[in-house]
Amino acid sequence: QKALITGVTSYIGAHIAQQLLEKGWYVRGTVRAQAKAQWLHDTFKAGDRFETVEVKDIQKKESFAEAVKGVDYVFHVASPFFFGFKDPYEDLLHPAINGTVSLLSAVHEHGQGVKRVVVTSSFAAMMQPHPEDPNYLYTEADWNDSAIQSVEKEGKDVNGGTAYLASKNEAERSAWKFVEQNKPKFELSVINPVYVFGPAIHYVAKAEELNTSVAFVYSYVSGSKAKLEPRSPFSNFVDVRDVAQAHIQAALLPEAAGERFITSAGGFNDNAVASIIKKHFPQYADKLPKEGWNEKDLDPKSEADNSKSRKILGINYISLEKSIVDTIESVKQFI
């Protein structure tokens, strides 16, 4: 079997590649930066089973014309995930939406052998606030169509988080629309992860370059967090190894075709994360925030219903404890 992974040098893309290679697959990954690609070649040591091809501009469908040839499955992972943009359209929405449509168009036109495309969307494409119901449990029936309205109204002044949410919602909407309008030969599945923790195996030159969700875990020991805060809404986590497994299951299982899947292991809060770090890494205890400790508040509820992913994809979720320990192990060189 051969897979194409867009953004193989990403935090999540590298794990999908690793799991596929462990299963004996051939993997082709699209990359923008040679140093990041070389790191993966050196890490995987998979010989001719792992190749990387340069795709600088994911917004042009011609960019993917060659990359999609000769593969059986495609994982579309590449999409900007950061909050500090200059222009919400240029930096987030356009690469997310146009990147998705150009990839799907290229598969439709040039990827004759592709059976299924799995798109990495996000819980961001579901989590429209429900202030009327504090116990609202989000499922795969939910969409976050309000985020784009805020971007349209507020333009460059829109909050970074909201612009990212809009980019993921609109990109996923455009994927389903593409399939509906073009009726391609390939099937589509979508994975909607909540905040992803767990070991970073991709290339990271320095702490400032950590991907957004690992940087969040790193912030507990970097000295940048003054105080442990009560849980913010939508603080849910999933381990990156479960997210990678979910992508692969979604590609292979017949019943996953045409479906979207929340991947979430449960809720978290500052106290739960800090307590795990304190227990397993006493050497970093003095780096943890000093204020806000509350040992009664360690098992918060989640807003994300993960039952569909457990039932259909068979995911048996990794715990917060293991996920945080393995994240910290993987960023030790920066502490």
Which residues of this protein are in contact with ligand NDP, per CB under 6 A?
A: 7, 9-13, 32-33, 36, 58, 77-81, 95, 120, 122, 168, 193, 195-196, 211, 213
Report the relative pairing of strands 266-267 and 2-6 from DSSP bridges: unpaired
The two most distant CA atoms of the chain are separated, in Å, by 58
* Least separation in angstroms between CB 321 and ligand NDP: 18
**What minimum distance in Å lies between the beta carbon of 283 and ligand NDP?**
27
Nearest-angstrom CA–CA distance, 50 and 9:
12
| Residue number with CB closer to ligand NDP (211 or 222) | 211
| Residue (118 or 158) nearer to ligand NDP, CB | 118
12 vs 273, beta carbon nearer ligand NDP: 12
Cβ proximity to ligand NDP, 86 vs 290, nearer residue:
86
Least distance in Å: CB of 194 to ligand NDP? 7
Amino acid at 313: L
Residue 116, CA distances (Å) to 177, 193, 247, 256, 258 in order: 16, 19, 11, 10, 10
Q: Cβ distance 8 to 54 under 8 Å? A: no
Rounded to the nearest whole angstrom, what is the least distance from the CB of residue 310 to ligand NDP in the complex? 18
Toward ligand NDP, which CB reaches closer, 28 or 290?
Answer: 28
Nearest distance from residue 195's CB to ligand NDP, in Å? 5
What sections of the chain are H helices per DSSP? 11-22, 34-44, 88, 94-110, 147-154, 160-182, 212-218, 240-252, 270-280, 307-308, 320-330
Q: Of the two residues 77 and 256, which places its CB atom closer to ligand NDP in the complex?
A: 77
> With respect to ligand NDP, which residue has the nearer C-beta, 122 or 269?
122
Q: How far is the CB of 217 from ligand NDP (least distance, A)?
A: 10
Amino acid at 322: K
Going by C-alpha positions, the residue among 216, 230, 232, 265 that lies closest to residue 129 is: 232
Give the C-alpha distances (Å, rounded to integers) separating 69 from 2, 3, 4, 36, 226.
Answer: 10, 10, 9, 23, 50
The partner residues of 267 in beta bridges, in order of sequence, read 236
Minimum distance of ligand NDP from residue 137's CB (angstroms): 19
